[in-house]
Amino acid sequence: MQEAIPYKTWQPISTQTPINRSPPKTETVNGGVDKGTKEYVKKLVEENAVIVFGKRGCCMSHVVKRLLQGLGVNPAVFDVDEDDEAAVVEELQVVISSAGVDGKDGGLQFPAVFIGGRLFGGLERIMATHITGELIPILKEAGALWL
């Protein structure tokens, strides 16, 4: 028989200074756009066929991501920290209003899925269109699926 590897649920406490794992607010990304500017989120939405904006650690965001991956789509995922949530929602509202879509629900909720540069909806809309069989043609039209 093989011996099981013990699983540790804790991490040893280090006496050294903690490492800051979050990137700086003005980190430059591949297009030369700073992360701190309003153009960053707009550029993300425009450049990705499918992108999922969700709260960090949110189970609904995970479900959306896994559903899309199961269909053969590799969506970009933008995890929003609690501290940055209000700023990201404001930036997404600008992207939505510039695309000519008015907020029917009164506010943007996470997870927010953008397909083809336009707000598609959240978990409920993704699941509903998947069940009816309409999701795959939409993903093909956006260029997220090639089959």
Give residue-wise pLDDT tens across range 104-132.
555 678 899 999 888 898 899 999 999 99
Task: Give just the sign of the alpha carbon dihedral 49, 54, 56, 58.
Answer: negative
Query: By the 8 A CB rule, do 112 and 54 touch?
Result: yes
pTM of the predicted structure, to 2 decimals = 0.68
**Structure confidence by residue, pLDDT tens digits, 49-100:** 899 998 888 899 999 999 999 999 999 898 888 888 888 888 888 888 765 5
Q: How far apart are CA 65 and CA 35, in angstroms?
A: 23
Q: What are phi and psi of 77, to 5 degrees?
A: -125, 130
- Tens of pLDDT, residues 13-36: 444 444 444 444 434 344 444 455
User: Domain ranges in the chain?
Assistant: 39-142
pLDDT at 31: 41
Edge-to-edge strand order for the sheet containing 118-121?
A: 76-80, 50-55, 112-115, 118-121
| Class level of CATH domain 39-142 | alpha beta
